[in-house]
Amino acid sequence: MKLSNIEPITKVICDFKMACVPLPKFRTRDNMDTNREYQKLLNHLKETNAQAHEHLEEEIDIVFHKLKFIPLESRPRVAVISNIRDFSQDFRVITQEALDIAGGVWLSMEDLAQADKVIVVQQDASLYNDLPIALQSSLLGETAAISQNELYIIQQSAFEGGTANDFLRQVEIFAEIVQPKYFIYGHEGEGWVRFEL
């Protein structure tokens, strides 16, 4: 492969034989053009509350820094379910962005079978009655995530509110679940639990 044949935006690494191999794309703060709602939140805070803006940006930058060398292909694919009864995903776009920032890859319900992790939102106490029934369905019960014991429950309160602190809490909870080797914020047991199968 000649260097001139490589697209300008593709970085390459060449070994001593001058054979070039494209590097995987990495997610960094600078190339995350998909996080538009997060950027809107930052811009709003910059104009209204400089201290909150600085705090949120610093905390999110720490997450980006810890995950910057994990290629997108190596990040866990995560299905987040808002209602286990009908397998719906009723979330704001910023929730998807929080998962993305935290090191996960958002999956739609059509791709549930490919999920490495499944997160279910607990809206009320009936979840623990509904979950065993849902696990018997082939839609959820036969996923790789379930066979690998990667089922998590997040409290509904983690998705309520629209403040910078609420968004940061969502990112932290998702980060603890999808990248546990890198993040421990202390939300386990309060904001989320692992459902042992």
pLDDT at 92 over 80: yes
- Residue-wise pLDDT for 98-110, tens only, equals 999 999 999 999 9
Q: Which of 187, 166, 185, 173 is nearest to 37 (CA)?
A: 166
In a domain, 53, yes or no: yes
* CATH number, domain with residue 156: 3.40.50.1980
Q: Is 74 exposed, middle or buried (0-12, 13-18, 19+ CB in 10 A)?
A: exposed
Domain interval for residue 104: 29-194
Percent of the chain at pLDDT exceeding 90: 69
Report pLDDT for 194.
97
Average pLDDT of the chain? Answer: 84
Full DSSP string of 139-181: HHHTSHHHHTT-EEEEEGGGG---SHHHHHHHHHHHHHHH-TT
Contact 84, 154 (CB under 8 A): no
In a domain, 4, yes or no: no
Report pLDDT for 161.
80
In a domain, 1, yes or no: no
- Residue-wise pLDDT for 27-80, tens only, equals 444 444 557 899 999 999 999 999 999 999 999 999 999 999 999 999 999 999
pLDDT at 175 over 60: yes
Q: Global pTM?
A: 0.81
pLDDT at 19 over 80: no
Report pLDDT for 34.
55
Percent of the chain at pLDDT exceeding 70: 82
pLDDT band per the 50, 70, 90 thresholds, residue 160: confident
Helix, strand and coil percent figures for the chain, each rounded to 5: 45, 15, 35
In a domain, 62, yes or no: yes
In a domain, 124, yes or no: yes
Domain count, the chain: 1
pLDDT at 12 over 80: no
56: tokens are: 């949120």
In a domain, 5, yes or no: no
Report pLDDT for 197.
80
In a domain, 125, yes or no: yes
pLDDT at 11 over 60: no
In a domain, 56, yes or no: yes
Better-scored residue on pLDDT, 25 or 195: 195
